[in-house]
């Protein structure tokens, strides 16, 4: 059986950990504890589990100008692109970008782009996520940075 962050920390504690360490990026996209407890997310087709709380969600567009959706909860990452839903345990995601890498990629962009695609390596596959350029990239990095820290802290090596 794979080890989980929530084996060592309650979902609400995990949600609070992520929020307090990334809230300086933007509060309107991150869920604070009071909002997360309500479990009201923008995408009504997704139902959260009993002790699952939202951390972050955003709508974006892909290269074909089609809407995409990203939801990160205390248990899963869900990415919807071209009406295909990809869901993976947050412990299975390998995110190795540093904030300097994100800044460098911004500097190297020669044309204006509103949305950016990231390929997230997971235990079994690679999942694409689209996020809004700028603040959303920073929030995404902040969340994954904290999840990576917790995975190391609790010796979770599902990757």
Residue 82 has a pLDDT of 93
Residues 6+ apart with CB under 8 A from 93: 77, 120, 121, 122, 127, 144, 147, 159
Rounded-to-integer distance, Cα 26 and Cα 8, Å: 27
The 10s digit of each residue's pLDDT in 110-140 is 777 888 999 999 988 999 999 988 888 888 8
Q: Which two tokens stand for residue 65?
A: 């100008």
Segments of the chain assigned E as strands: 54-61, 67-73, 76-81, 84-89, 93-94, 115-122, 126-132
Rounded-to-integer distance, Cα 127 and Cα 79, Å: 8
Is the pTM higher than 0.85?
Answer: no
Residue 28 has a pLDDT of 47
Q: What is the distance in angstroms between the CA of the first residue and the CA of the last residue of the chain?
A: 13
Rounded-to-integer distance, Cα 127 and Cα 116, Å: 14
The 10s digit of each residue's pLDDT in 68-91 is 999 999 999 999 999 999 999 999
- Whose CA is closest to 57, among 132, 133, 156, 147? 132
Average pLDDT over residues 148-152: 91
The 10s digit of each residue's pLDDT in 49-73 is 999 999 999 888 999 999 999 999 9
Q: Across the chain, what does the average pLDDT equal?
A: 87
- Whose CA is closest to 80, among 67, 97, 95? 67
- Residue 135 near residue 25, CB atoms below 8 Å: yes
Name all domains of the chain by residue range, CATH numbers in brackets: 5-153 (2.30.29)
Rounded-to-integer distance, Cα 60 and Cα 132, Å: 6
Average pLDDT over residues 17-32: 70
């Amino acid at each position: 059986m794979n080890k989980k962050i929530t084996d060592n920390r309650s979902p609400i504690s995990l949600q609070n950990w992520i929020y307090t360490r990334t809230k300086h990026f933007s509060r309107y996209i991150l869920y604070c504890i009071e909002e997360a407890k309500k479990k009201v997310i923008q995408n009504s087709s997704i139902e959260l589990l009993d002790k699952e709380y939202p951390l972050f969600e955003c709508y974006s567009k892909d290269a074909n100008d089609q809407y995409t959706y990203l939801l990160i909860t205390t248990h899963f990452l869900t990415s919807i692109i071209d009406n295909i839903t990809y869901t993976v345990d947050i412990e299975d995601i390998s995110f190795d970008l540093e904030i300097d890498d994100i800044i460098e990629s911004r500097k190297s962009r020669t044309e204006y782009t509103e949305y950016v695609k990231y390929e997230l390596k997971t235990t079994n596959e690679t999942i694409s996520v689209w996020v809004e350029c700028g603040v959303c990239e920073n929030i995404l990095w902040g969340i994954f940075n904290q999840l990576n820290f917790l995975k190391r802290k609790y010796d979770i090596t599902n990757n």
